[in-house]
Amino acid sequence: MTDAAFQQCISPACGGTFGVDEVHVACPRCGNLLDIKYDWSRLNPPKTLSFFENRWATKGTGTAGRNDFSGVWRFRELMPFYGAADNIVTIGEGRTVLQQADLLARQMNMKPGRLLLQYEGLNPSGSFKDNGMTAAFTHAKMVGAKKVACASTGNTSASLAMFASLAEMRGVVFIGSGKISFGKLSQALDYGALTLQIQGDFDACLRRVRQIATDVPELGIYLMNSVNPFRLEGQKSIMLRILEARDWEPPDWIIVPGGNLGNSSAFGKAYAELKELGLAKKIPRLAIINASGANTLNVLYSDRGMRWNGGKFDASVMQKHYAALDEANYHPHTIASAIEISRPVNLPKALRALEVMNGVVREVSDEEILEHRAMVARWGFGCEPASAASVAGLRKLLDEGTIGPDETVACILTGHELKDPNATVKYHTGIDMKSVQDVAPRTDPHGKLSNRPVQVDDDLEAIVRAMGGEPGMLKGKKIGASKTHVPVAEF
Ligand code: F0G
């Protein structure tokens, strides 16, 4: 490997390396997740984080102006895979706010200045996903991709659809029928993505889109889910912005909701790299919060003691758990639809992040999520239910004494309050607008830009046809990505 930026398998036993000009959804040698790695000795990382401060002052619509305006790319020396600066696809993402939430802190019995809320819902598409999409679209552009796709609980699809439209690529989104909030569905339709409503949940959608991206190359699909390691490079910037807002002083804790575990994985990678570069004063502790109805990480980490263990984790613990879920025909269920995921694809990377950041995992009930969501709205800017899992998790960690009264905590609020107004209206009025909508009479849409979603069975042939492909494309193919679509190779 000669390039200073490259892809590498996370399994120490494999360690396969691949160029950044290659497209993989998993390690082609062993099937594990891939990382983006840097040979820093051949790059030019900054000597101090304050190096980035001057970027605020750049003005203009040229390449430097656009890239410095982005809350992701103004840190580009810490994600230098993009080759030339004009490869960068940016829509002005990442200009988010770290709020010192003293009013909410009072409700949580915390001292003023101790509770910080990082509002990632202030991104252009209303969620943290834009941080990752800007990086993955940059890579898609570098490799000449024309069609991009993802499975989604809603926010990834909204973000993908917005970026695809603005980057003039064809966007296809796979969503579980009835599984995403109306705010998010409306975005995918509005931004013009082909919206496939698959009869199944998120885990089923992800399995299908991975099969399409890997095994049906004729469709030319570039995969935008967080198994795409380039996405996580962009999501590292959330940690950098929190540091920036605090004059480069890390908080004691970072708390984040856990779904597919892309964010937590990216946070761990950010701090591992800052440490490697001598740029981290200290490493905050990480708390990942599951919803009780989608608690795979908490079961595996807290109950079964699964650890990264320097890369030698015991994959059989995970496999046994998934086999039991399959046997019981278990499907996750939570009001926090964004994190309704029982087979998180980034699990190994999240275990690594928990090791790097001396982390803990907890789960919270739907009731706790709803009450804390309402509190963030009443005493802050508001957020969607999944985001409030972080604040509900904070309450739990304070109550049990894991987080002390003098510690400073940053909760990541991953999505905007307006993403899921049904949850809010139901909380306050008892009326379930979603079920009212389900029985409302339908008319054919006839707007000039109407973009109807397409209902499709959880069936590969039907999906290929809905994407404009020929069923013959599947002939004689061995389709991979079995039910347990998590890397299973030995570490
Ligand atoms: N919060 C929100 C609002 C989300 O949309 C998601 C993930 C998460 C938290 C979990 O983040 O996967 O990095 O652990 N939403 C994905 C989607 C799965 O399809 O929009 P994670």
Summarize the confidence of residues 155-172 as an average pLDDT: 98
Residue 156 CA, closest ligand 1 atom number: 20
Amino acid at 233: E
Q: Is the CB of 152 under 6 A from ligand 1?
A: yes
Q: Note the pLDDT of residue 177.
A: 87
Place of tokens 């600066």: 85
Q: Which of 297, 294, 227 is nearest to 266 (CA)?
A: 227
pLDDT at 100 over 60: yes
Atom of ligand 1 nearest to the CA of 263: 13
Is the shortest distance between the CB of 332 and ligand 1 below 6 Å?
Answer: no
**For strand 285-291 and strand 360-364, is the pairing parallel, antiparallel, or unpaired?**
parallel
- Rounded to the nearest whole angstrom, what is the distance from the C-alpha of residue 341 to the centroid of ligand 1? 9
- Report the relative pairing of strands 5-9 and 34-38 from DSSP bridges: antiparallel
Share of the chain above pLDDT 90, in %: 88
Q: Which of 105-109, 208-212, 438-442 has the lowest mean pLDDT?
A: 438-442
Q: Are 73 and 67 in contact (CB under 8 A)?
A: yes
75 pLDDT higher than 90:
yes
First to last CA, the chain: 22
Residue 278 Cα to ligand 1 midpoint, Å, equals: 30
Q: How far is the CA of 206 from the centre of ligand 1 (A)?
A: 13
Residue 288 near ligand 1, beta carbon < 6 Å: no
CA–CA dist 282, 19 (Å, integer): 32
Tokens matching residue 429: 């009025």
Separation of CA 415 and ligand 1 centre (Å): 8
pLDDT for the residue numbered 149: 98
338 Cβ closer than 6 Å to some ligand 1 atom: yes
Measured between alpha carbons, how far is residue 53 from residues 76, 258, 278 in Å? 13, 31, 18
Confidence class of residue 10 from pLDDT cuts 50, 70 and 90? Answer: very high
414 Cβ closer than 6 Å to some ligand 1 atom? yes
**Separation CA 430–CA 433 (nearest Å):** 9
Q: How far is the CA of 344 from the centre of ligand 1 (A)?
A: 10
- If you take atom 11 of ligand 1, which residue's CA is the nearest one? 259
For ligand 1, say whether the CB of 127 is within 6 Å of any of its atoms. yes
Ligand 1 midpoint to CA 476 (Å): 35
- Ligand 1 centre from 59 Cα, in Å? 33
Residue 213 CB less than 6 A away from ligand 1: no
Average pLDDT over the chain, rounded to whole? 94
pLDDT tens column, 120-163: 999 999 999 999 999 999 999 999 999 999 999 999 999 999 99
Taking the CA of residue 387 as reference, the ligand 1 atom at the shortest distance is 1
Expressed in angstroms and rounded, the spacing between residue 7 Cα and the centre of ligand 1 is 24
Q: What is the distance between the alpha carbons of residues 178 and 370, in angstroms, rounded to a whole number?
A: 20
CA nearest ligand 1 atom 10, residue? 259
In short, whether 176's Cβ falls inside 6 Å of ligand 1 is no
The average pLDDT across 435-461 equals: 88
Residues 104, 379 contacting (CB under 8 angstroms):
yes
CB of 359 closer than 6 A to ligand 1? no
Which phi and psi (to 5°) does residue 221 adopt?
-90, 130
Task: Say whether pLDDT at 388 is over 70.
Answer: yes
Distance from residue 28's CA to the centre of ligand 1 (Å)? 26
**Size (the chain), residues:** 491
Atom of ligand 1 nearest to the CA of 386: 1
Q: What angle do CA 53, 55, 61 make, to 5 degrees?
A: 165
Any ligand 1 atom below 6 A from CB of 257: yes
- From 263, 347, 412, mutation site for ligand 1 pocket: most ligand atoms within 8 A of C-beta: 263
Atom of ligand 1 nearest to the CA of 350: 14
Tell whether the model's pLDDT for residue 482 goes beyond 60.
no
Q: What pLDDT was estimated at residue 253?
A: 99
Among residues 301, 309, 393, 302, the alpha carbon closest in space to that of 347 is found at: 301
**From the CA of 164, how far away is ligand 1's center (Å)?**
19
Closest atom of ligand 1 to 288 CA is 14
* Per-residue tokens: 15: 């360690």
Residue 480's pLDDT is 66
Q: How far is the CA of 155 from the centre of ligand 1 (A)?
A: 7
Check pLDDT > 60 for residue 483. Answer: no
Atom of ligand 1 nearest to the CA of 158: 20
Longest distance between any two alpha carbons in the chain, whole Å? 64
Q: Are strands 194-198 and 221-223 parallel, antiparallel or unpaired?
A: unpaired
298 lines ligand 1 (CB under 6 A): no
Distance, CA 259 to ligand 1 centroid (Å)? 5
Residue of 340, 414, 486 with the most ligand 1 atoms within 8 Å of its CB, for mutation: 414
At residue 273, does pLDDT exceed 50? yes
Can you give the pLDDT at residue 2?
56
Residue 222 has pLDDT above 50, yes or no: yes
Q: Whose CA is nearest to atom 12 of ligand 1?
A: 260
| 481 pLDDT above the threshold of 70 | no
Of 453, 392, 388, 383, the closest CA to residue 419 belongs to: 383
Atom of ligand 1 nearest to the CA of 121: 3
The three state secondary structure string of the chain is: CCCCEEEEECCCCCCCEEECCCCCCCCCCCCCCEEEEECHHHCCCCCCHHHHHHHHHCCCCCHHHHHHHCCCHHHHHHCCCCCCHHHCCCCCCCCCEEEECHHHHHHCCCCCCCEEEEEHHHCCCCECHHHHHHHHHHHHHHCCCCEEEEEECCHHHHHHHHHHHHHCCEEEEEEECCCCCHHHHHHHHHCCCEEEEECCCHHHHHHHHHHHHHHCHHHCEEECCCCCHHHHHHHCHHHHHHHHHCCCCCCCEEEEECCCCHHHHHHHHHHHHHHHCCCCCCCCEEEEEEECCECHHHHHHHHCCCCCHHHCCCHHHHHHHHHHHHHCCCCCCCCCHHHCCCCCCCHHHHHHHHHHCCCEEEEECHHHHHHHHHHHHHHCCCCCHHHHHHHHHHHHHHHCCCCCCCCCEEEEECECHHHCHHHHHHHHHCCCHHHHHHHCCCCCCCCCCCCCCEEECCCHHHHHHHCCCCHHHHCCCCCCCCCCCCCCCCC
